[in-house]
Amino acid sequence: MSDVLTSPVPVVTIQDIESAHERIASTVVRTPTITCPALSRLTGAEITLKLENLQAIGSFKERGAANKMALLTAQERARGVITVSAGNHAQGVARQASLLGIDATIVMPRFTPASKVAATQAWGANVVLAGDDFAQACVTAEELQKTEGRVLVHPFNDPAVIAGQGTAALELLQDAPQIDTVVVPVGGGGLIGGFATVMAALRPDVEVIGVQVEAYASLAAFPQEGGPTLGGSTIAEGIAVTTMGEHCLNAFRNRISRILVVNELQVESAITTLAEKAKQVCEGAGATGLAAVIANPELFKGRKVALPLSGGNINARILANTILRSLLRDGRILRLIFQIPDRPGMLADISARIGNYGGNIIEVSHHRLFASPSVQTAELVVMIEARDTEHAKQIETDLSRHYIVRRD
């Protein structure tokens, strides 16, 4: 890794990225760049969002796939393409293959969210599910490539792919020249490689900061050489990469200031915050930038910060559960367990008290036989929606004056 980081030869130039931008303009979306006053108030920074979640496939990944595949020769197109991806790059390759009339095989880890598998298949690609993670899926992809003679469209470790990803940074600078900081999710390193190249060439005053999720923080010690990652499940599966691409490392070497690491709960909270305050559906990887800003307020207060929302492909059930978990942690949803006398009127009285304080009862579960400690008592579980944390405390305090109650 250290040799790559110190290599003096740039793998991607600003000219490569500018050419890529012209090359792919007709097949990818020029996504909006917006300021977000609600997030700015929350963070103390002036927040600008680059909405790559609004790409046709819901992710910036199509930019790199489009550039790589536009550069293929007629002979290479006839051979077909193959790639490995946890979802977003897969969809980008599948869509571009559909537009160009190229046969495509996509290898995806077996536990890729079903929504991403279905979306990839919908573009006409042949999907092969193999391996428990990205690294294992890569082995299958390499075997198929050798057997079938297909052209590999790597999800990140390819100069043409990096150049394509960098086109998002060109658009960002055109639309938001006032920014002084950009916080970029880091998985394989293609996106930050492209962003770092653009900023170094056109706006060297803009600080480029990378962010990784805790289980896959291969650059946690940056600029020192990294170590092994923990691996495992993460809500940010789009950046769940154990080994950084060497071309990507070379693209951002000495061009970024630091790497920040966020944990799972911070990412979950950021997904909820984006939905509530920015009205944007964002997957875990795309929300890591905001998670890093919220977790490190001293680094960003007063700064003009751009966040690429790199993707919006999150399963509806996961999104719903994530929001509910965040509301529970914030105290805006209370789950209270009561031990009450088993006699008429108790439930009505509790409901009235909650209603008098403006709480909204979402769910009630009443247990008489096995959950209660006495045959003369019952256990009541009530889920309540409150306006905010303080409102929730008021409801709980009042109920505690009259009943034996604890928060679950």
Quote the CA–CA distance of 110 and 108 in Å, as a whole number.
6
Based on the residue annotation, tell me whether 269 is a catalytic residue of this protein. Answer: no
Q: Decide if 301 is catalytic.
A: no
For residue 107, give both structure tokens.
């290898």
Residues 6+ apart with CB under 8 A from 99: 27
Residue 348, judged by CB atoms within 10 A of its CB (0-12, 13-18, 19+), counts as: exposed
The secondary structure of residue 277, as a DSSP letter, is I
Of 50, 61, 68, 116, catalytic:
61
200 in Cβ contact with 187 (< 8 Å): no
Annotated catalytic residue within 59, 85, 310, 326 = 310
Across the strands, what pairs with 129?
Answer: 108
For 86, phi then psi, to 5°, come to: -85, 0
Phi-psi sector, 131: left (phi>0), alpha (psi -120 to 50), beta: left
| Contacts with 106 (C-beta within 8 Å, 6 or more apart), sequence order | 82, 83, 84, 85, 90, 93, 94, 120, 125, 126, 127, 128
Q: How far apart are CA 291 and CA 272, in angstroms?
A: 11
Identify which of 286, 360, 266, 268 has the alpha carbon closest to the alpha carbon of residue 60: 286
Which parts of 132-288 are beta strand (E)? 151-152, 181-185, 207-213, 258-262
Instruction: State the virtual CA torsion across 125, 131, 136, 142 in degrees, nearest 10.
Output: -40
CA atoms within 13 A on the CB side of 19: 14
Strands 181-185 and 304-308: parallel
For CA atoms 191, 168, 162, 279, the dihedral sign is positive
CA–CA separation, 229 and 256 (whole Å): 21
Prior bond of 223 cis (ω within 30°) = yes
Which residues are annotated as catalytic? 61, 310
